[in-house]
Amino acid sequence: MSILVDKNTRLLVQGITGKAGAFHARGCRDYGTNVVAGVTPGRGGEKLDETIPVFDTVAEAREQTGCNATMIFVPAAGAADAILEAADAGVELIVCITEGIPVHDMMRVKFALADRLNKDLTLIGPNCPGIITPGACKIGIMPGYIHKEGNIGVISRSGTLTYEAVWQLTSRGLGQSTCIGIGGDPIHGMSHTDALKLFTNDPGTEAIIMIGEIGGAGEEEAAEWAKEHCKKPIAAFVAGATAPEGRRMGHAGAIVQGGQGTAQGKKEALRAAGIAVAESPADIAETLISLLKQ
């Protein structure tokens, strides 16, 4: 079992003829994802690798191929428009990989989609590695081979730090149900809490790893929710304990402001909710394993 994506996912790639879009469309296809279509305005009628049809609009791609998920590689200036286009065409799952979308654009997108998010529409990202259900479906830029089928759910704001945690699990024989990177921007779709709710209700997920970082209050909200509603074991790590205040640490959303959003504050909130917190990023999997042994 898994959440959001599986063998039945029919993937569209927006920006499929770009360098990154084509590269990762192939990467997902080679992993076993059913990549049914691509969209690049002005390139309708072409095919990627003589097999994947390219359309001018998402509406056409949806009508002709029945795609139910999309992976967006459209450059930052047009990515907000690409999200709205996919939502308008009725694509149920939107995974936006694009980094550097202006914050004001994302504010408008989120308000425009507010009535639909987490109802008939799920938005993951932007500025995220994507989502993967090992052995079934990969939507994103993560290296597929580090994953293994299993029953640990992984939620994270970052890319390579997620790979680190996943690799720790896999190399200790623990597989994953689904891994989601929710992205490093201050305004994003799916939150830690949204992902946690899905994993809590997924019979195929027995334990959860949650990786956070400085900035915002997403981890604190998730901790609050987990305290009341999630009985599954959760291990967590929060990056950025050594980050100076007021600086954006690579991710636009990773910033401590006015003493808010610190790693320390987040760790305390997580521990108060009964979540095991790893102090070192090298101990994320071991922290979960010791919980599972209890």
Kindly list the catalytic residues: 251
Q: Which residues contact 244 (CB under 8 A, 6 or more apart)?
A: 256
Smallest distance, other proteins to C-beta of residue 202, A: 24
Nearest Cα neighbor of 94 from 145, 144, 58 is 58
CB 129 within 8 A of CB 154: no
Give least dist CB 282 to other proteins, A.
4
For position 68 contacting other proteins by CB under 8 A, the verdict is no
Least spacing, CB of residue 251 vs other proteins, in Å? 5
253 is a site residue for other proteins (CB under 8 A): yes
| Residue 146 sits in the site that holds other proteins (CB under 8 A) | yes
- Pick from 63, 66, 103, 271 the residue near other proteins by CB under 8 A: 103
Which DSSP string do the residues of 25-86 spell out, in sequence order?
HHHHHHHT-EEEEEE-TT-TT-EETTTEEEESSHHHHHHHH---EEEE---HHHHHHHHHHH
Per rule CB under 8 A, is residue 26 in the interface with other proteins? no
Among 46, 167, 227, 276, interactor with other proteins by CB under 8 A: 167
Question: Residues binding other proteins: what is the number (CB under 8 A)?
Answer: 60
- Pairing relationship of beta strands 93-96 and 69-72 according to DSSP bridges: parallel
State in angstroms the smallest separation of the CB of 277 from other proteins: 12
Q: CA of 31: how far to CAs of 74, 88, 147, 161, 222, in Å?
A: 22, 28, 11, 21, 31
The footprint of other proteins (CB under 8 A) covers 76-77, 100-108, 110-112, 141-143, 145-146, 156-164, 167, 184, 186-187, 211, 213-217, 237, 239-244, 247-254, 258, 263, 279-283
